[in-house]
Amino acid sequence: MYHFINQIKGTVRSRRAQILLPAVMLAPIFILVVYLLFETSKLSMTKVRQQFALDSGAYSQMSSTSGYLNALAQVNGSLPYRVMKTMRKVDLPAKATAPNPDQKVTVFDVFYTAGAFPSIGPNYEQGPDGASNNPVPAPESTNWGFQYYNGKRAGWNKEDPQESAADMEDDHYVLTNKEIADNYFFGASGIGLTTIKEYATIYVRTGSIYQSQTYSYKDTIKNSRMFRENYYLNTRDCRKADCGKQAAATLDRFELDSTPFEIDKARFYVTADYQGSTMHSGSYPIDLKMQEALNAKLFQFAYLPPASRNRLRQLKRGVVLKQKYTLPENRFNINLTQRYNPYVQNSISVTCPRNNNNCVWPNPLPKYSVKVGI
């Protein structure tokens, strides 16, 4: 027995014992540190995943809004202008007694100078070197300068457009220039009627594009569908119908509306039919009720009502989104969600290069973009 006790004392005094005993004592601490690192990593990964889901979902949702606003700006200006610009290739011959028989006038001029559509700048006057031949805006341009000819459509060219009696003739909007029809050959049975049909077709299709874009936008952002689905796919820790509910409630308040501006009664001046190129018997009007001819009013442009313009101003400043989330369970059986109430947040904005953030109408500019910040 005495020998055995001496062996134990010798072992304790040896260098091996001096290493073994502290190691045995530190083992639980080491295991605890490993657990802490593992649980901390889970918390960090959860927060990163939630933050990414919030950022990605918000960007997707607001990209639908910016895309819709850019589509409105396109149908309001550049789309019909580019199509009508092709008509500058069709020259109209002048009658012998015209004031300026050598002046080049095209089908483009007949419609544009009557106020049938707006043109980009900087040259708005009639003629081959004017509005029908303006250069393409530079990519960095922040103002395409869409305007109607010579101050026409003053009642339309506002954020809240209205019909104006000053733009009417016998309760009709004139869409082809009477003076040109008086002095150039714009025959009712020839180029005149053909291009009037083309003009109506252009704006019927433009109106159809507007309607389809509006339907798509409304369906996509309804109940923040785009945001919720994106959030669900990036987290998978919530019910699809409830994912991102808190942030979605904020986004729901920024759904935008638009109003189409349409006309019913239109007047087109054409040249009376003639035999040969030297006979010209003046012009006369063709009056059309669009609802009877097309079963619908003729679309001209779309604008944002006051409530939507107010939301756009808020979106320019940025909207803060906040979303609470649930932390995963841990090995220490501590309810960290209840204790710390974790959440992620960001700021989302939709902007265009104007102080009032309205690039839809007037002077449309399809340059809305989305920015996500913290």
Q: What is the pLDDT of residues 48-70, one digit of tens each?
A: 999 999 999 999 999 999 999 99
Confidence check: pLDDT of 20 > 90: no
Beta strands in 54-98 (DSSP E): none
Q: Indicate if the pLDDT at residue 374 is higher than 90.
A: no
pLDDT at 329 over 80: no
Bridge partners of residue 168, in order along the sequence: 173
Name the residue among 306, 314, 318 with its Cα closest to residue 374.
318
% the chain with pLDDT above 90? 63
Q: Which two tokens stand for residue 227?
A: 């945001």
Q: What pLDDT, in 10s, does the model give residues 334-346? A: 787 888 899 999 9
Mean pLDDT taken over the chain: 88
Q: What is the pLDDT of residues 206-231, one digit of tens each?
A: 999 999 999 999 999 999 999 999 99
Quick: pLDDT tens for 285-309.
Answer: 999 999 999 899 999 999 999 999 9
pLDDT for 121 equals: 85
- For position 130, what pLDDT does the model report? 83
**Band of pLDDT at residue 27, cut at 50, 70 and 90:** low
The stretch 124-153 carries a mean pLDDT of 87
**Cα radius of gyration (the chain):** 35
The residue written with tokens 């409530």 in the block is 307
Q: Residue 268 — very low, low, confident or very high, per pLDDT cuts 50/70/90? A: very high
Q: What angle do CA 340, 344, 346 make, to 5 degrees?
A: 150
Range with lowest mean pLDDT among 31-45, 125-139, 171-185, 360-374:
31-45
Q: What percent of the chain has pLDDT over 70?
A: 87
Cβ proximity of 334 and 39 under 8 Å: no
Rounded CA-CA distance 83/93 in Å is 22
